[in-house]
Every structure is written in structure tokens, then in C-alpha cells.
């Protein structure tokens, strides 16, 4: 920003003070909101902050200011809160309580949007997220998700809830506020991509709770999440959707629902993704689905076994290896799959994973899978011995698997 522009910013900020006329304050607020909104390189945001704008903007949020001044102040703070340091400074100046009050029933749609946008940016900071929740924001944000609310309002509200949902305490509050049905509704094709992204993110944060996993499924989330696995979704949305399904698949009933929704074929396709995160999560989800006997057949029929076998190799991350081995130990419970797994060449990499280069968990999974593959099959036993695991066969014969 040129020196003249910096002087202009300082002049604008001075007009926010209590000694300025309301008309001057409004003109300065409109200008500052415009500068901060169209700032591509961050120079204006830094200059506005350096000029001391934050405390003055927070003061204009408080009771006594007109609704018009409050709206422009909230908009400016939302823009300034894109910078991490400003998130701390804005909260320290006392902005959170008045922003939460702006979410009240008497506020205009524009004020609701501005307050939700500001709180969404502030909630990126974990300490702020706790303060925002303690100030009572969550029950005020949830109604903004409902059908009939403007898409921009829904986007700001769901983004705020997504950022707030990253802490365990807030997850409880968000659930208690009745958010899950509204978040699920926002997954549908009628929502814009960003709204879907934040709704998936919030549900993914809520899904590890056993009770929430049931509630989310009952609200109809699973077919929507499966739909988001397809090529029409961004890589980011797809990764979050897979992770949400992974968490939901920890529930036995959900394993059948996820398979019935058609998740298995796209999950198998994602084992070949260029994204390591997608590969790891897809393998992990298939592993949980493979705990269901019917799913063991469906997963094998979809061609997963060769792909999972490939992931056992040294070119995969340790987490991908662990998740692939975990999927195979579920699939190997099916007698036909034992033959398919051996034929796919899984025995040598599984033997390799029993060695000291693997974690204890992976070693145990690999040994258990080899035990099942060995069974009463002379061919598989010879292949295991040829791969260098004769001692494992002897242990199985003598003691079973420990």
C-alpha cells in the first residue's frame, strides 16, 4: 500500500472515534469495510489494524450505536479477522459478546450475516471458539441453517459451527442445539459447494460420538455423504466425506446402511486416488465395513483386494499399510476371500509387515491375516513358508496365534 493510502487509512480510522459525527463514522466504516473486503494481498488489513481500528470498531458494535453503524463495524471486523493475529486482538478488545448479541431475533438479515461471518473467522482460533460458545452463540447460529434462510446466511452460520465443532465441549453443545438435521439437510444438491463443505466438516466432527453416529444416520446423512464421494465433488469435500463415513462406520448398523447406499464401489475406486489422505481414509472405511459378512462379499466383488494388496507395499504410508491390512483381516473371514487374497499376492507383503519395521498393531494384524490365509490350504502354507515365515507357521501349528 502506498504511503498516501496509509495516511488515508489513518484518517479514516480517526473518524471512527466517539468525537466524530455519526455521518462521519458511517462514511469511514463504509470505506474501511470496502478496503478490507477487496484486499487481495493483506496490505489494507494490516494498515487498518496498525492504525488502531480494532478497539474503535468494537466500540461501535455496542449498544448505543445505530444498527447501521453496528452492521458496518461487524462487516469490517469479519474482514480483519481473516488474519490470525487479528483474531486474537479482536477477541481481546471484547468483540465476541456484542457479536453474539447481534445474532438475536431482532437483527436484520444483513446483521445476522455479518455477525455470523465475524464469529466464523474468530472461531478459527481455539481459545476464541471456547469464548464464542460460552457467550451463547451456538443456539443462535443453528436457526440460521434452516430452509428459507438466505444461502449466504446459511454459509456463514454453518462455517461458524464447523469451526466451533473442532472442540469436544462445543460438539456437545452443537448437538444439544438440534443442529444435526439441519446440517444433514445442507448436504443436499440444493446447497452451494461451500455450504456442503462446512456441513460435512461439522458432521465429521460430531460423528465420533456413538450417539451422534446413530442420530446422523437416522437423519439421512449417509446417502448424501456417499453422493459426495463422486467426481462432482472437490478433493477437499471428498476427503471430509470419506472421513465422516469412516467415523460413522464404527457403528454396526451403519456398516449395513453405508453399503446399502452404494458406498463400496466409489470407496474402492478411491483406493487408486492421487490423494494419500483419500486412499488412507477409503481403506480405513472399507476395513470397518468389512466387519459385516455381507459387505465382505461386496467389497471383494468390487475388486478391492488387489488394490488393498498394493497398499501393503513399501511405497505406501504406514497409515495406508495399517488400514489396508485392517481391511484384509476383515475380508479374510470369508473363505472365498482367503483364496482371492492369496492369489492377489498379499502373502509376501503381509510377511514383510510382521517384521520389526512395522508397528506392533500392524504386526499383529498381518500375523492374524496370515493365520487365516494358511488355514488348511497347503498351497497358501507353502507360499507363506516361501515368503520367509516358516516360524510363524510353526507358531500357528503349535500354539495358534498369540
The pLDDT value recorded for residue 41 is 61
pLDDT single digits (tens) 152-186: 999 999 999 999 999 999 999 999 999 999 999 99
The pLDDT value recorded for residue 376 is 76
The pLDDT value recorded for residue 8 is 80
Cell digits of residue 264? 463400496
pLDDT at residue 136 is higher than 90: yes
Q: Which residue bears the cell 475406486?
A: 269
Contacts 24+ apart (CB under 8 A), 36-44: 36/76, 36/79, 36/80, 37/75, 37/79, 39/79, 42/83, 43/1, 44/1, 44/9
The pLDDT value recorded for residue 46 is 86
Average pLDDT over residues 352-381: 90
pLDDT category at 5 given cuts 50, 70, 90 is low
Average pLDDT over residues 388-392: 84
pLDDT category at 2 given cuts 50, 70, 90 is very low
Looking at per-residue pLDDT, the higher value among 180 and 402 belongs to: 180
Average pLDDT over residues 38-46: 70
262: left (phi over 0), alpha (psi -120 to 50) or beta: left
The pLDDT value recorded for residue 400 is 60
Looking at per-residue pLDDT, the higher value among 195 and 17 belongs to: 195
pLDDT category at 33 given cuts 50, 70, 90 is confident
Highest mean pLDDT among 145-149, 198-202, 391-395: 198-202
pLDDT at residue 6 is higher than 80: no
pLDDT single digits (tens) 209-245: 999 999 999 999 999 999 999 988 999 999 999 999 9
The pLDDT value recorded for residue 155 is 96
pLDDT single digits (tens) 112-134: 999 999 999 999 999 999 999 99
pLDDT category at 34 given cuts 50, 70, 90 is confident
pLDDT at residue 7 is higher than 80: no
The pLDDT value recorded for residue 313 is 93
Average pLDDT over residues 270-296: 95
Amino acid at each position: 500500500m502506498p504511503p498516501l493510502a496509509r495516511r488515508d487509512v489513518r484518517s479514516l480510522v480517526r473518524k471512527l472515534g466517539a468525537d466524530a459525527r455519526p455521518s462521519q463514522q458511517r462514511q469511514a466504516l463504509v470505506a474501511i469495510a470496502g478496503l478490507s473486503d477487496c484486499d487481495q494481498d493483506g496490505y489494507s488489513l494490516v494498515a487498518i489494524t496498525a492504525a488502531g481500528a480494532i478497539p474503535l470498531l468494537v466500540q461501535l458494535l455496542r449498544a448505543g450505536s445505530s444498527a447501521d453503524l453496528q452492521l458496518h463495524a461487524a462487516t469490517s471486523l469479519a474482514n480483519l479477522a481473516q488474519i490470525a493475529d487479528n483474531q486474537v486482538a479482536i477477541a481481546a478488545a471484547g468483540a465476541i459478546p456484542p457479536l453474539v448479541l447481534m445474532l438475536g431475533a431482532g437483527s436484520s438479515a444483513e446483521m445476522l450475516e455479518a455477525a455470523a461471518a465475524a464469529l466464523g473467522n474468530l472461531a478459527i482460533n481455539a481459545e476464541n471458539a471456547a469464548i464464542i460458545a460460552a457467550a451463547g452463540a451456538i443456539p443462535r447460529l443453528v436457526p440460521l441453517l434452516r430452509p428459507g434462510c438466505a444461502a449466504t446466511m446459511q454459509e456463514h452460520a454453518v462455517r461458524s459451527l464447523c469451526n466451533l465443532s473442532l472442540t469436544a465441549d462445543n460438539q456437545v453443545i452443537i448437538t444439544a442445539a438440534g443442529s444435526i438435521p439441519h446440517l444433514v439437510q445442507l448436504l443436499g444438491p440444493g446447497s452451494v459447494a461451500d455450504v456442503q463443505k462446512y456441513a460435512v466438516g461439522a458432521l465429521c466432527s460430531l460423528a465420533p460420538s456413538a450417539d451422534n453416529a446413530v442420530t446422523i444416520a437416522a437423519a439421512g446423512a449417509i446417502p448424501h455423504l456417499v453422493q459426495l464421494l463422486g467426481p462432482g465433488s472437490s478433493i477437499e469435500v471428498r476427503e471430509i466425506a470419506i472421513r465422516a463415513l469412516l467415523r460413522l462406520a464404527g457403528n454396526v448398523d451403519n456398516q449395513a446402511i453405508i453399503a446399502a447406499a452404494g458406498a463400496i464401489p466409489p470407496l474402492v475406486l478411491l483406493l487408486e486416488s492421487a490423494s494419500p489422505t483419500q486412499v488412507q481414509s477409503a481403506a480405513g472405511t472399507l476395513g470397518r465395513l468389512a466387519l459385516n459378512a455381507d459387505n465382505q462379499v461386496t467389497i471383494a466383488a468390487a475388486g478391492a483386494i488387489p488394490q488393498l494388496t498394493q497398499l501393503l507395499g513399501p511405497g505406501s504410508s504406514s497409515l495406508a499399510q495399517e488400514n489396508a491390512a485392517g481391511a484384509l483381516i476383515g475380508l479374510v473371514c470369508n473363505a472365498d476371500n482367503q483364496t482371492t487374497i492369496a492369489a492377489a499376492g498379499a502373502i509376501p507383503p503381509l510377511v514383510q509387515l510382521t517384521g520389526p519395521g512395522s508397528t506392533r498393531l500392524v504386526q499383529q494384524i498381518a500375523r492374524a491375516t496370515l493365520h487365516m490365509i494358511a488355514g488348511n490350504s497347503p498351497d497358501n502354507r507353502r507360499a507363506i513358508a516361501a515368503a520367509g515365515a516358516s516360524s510363524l507357521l510353526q507358531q500357528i501349528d503349535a500354539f495358534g496365534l498369540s
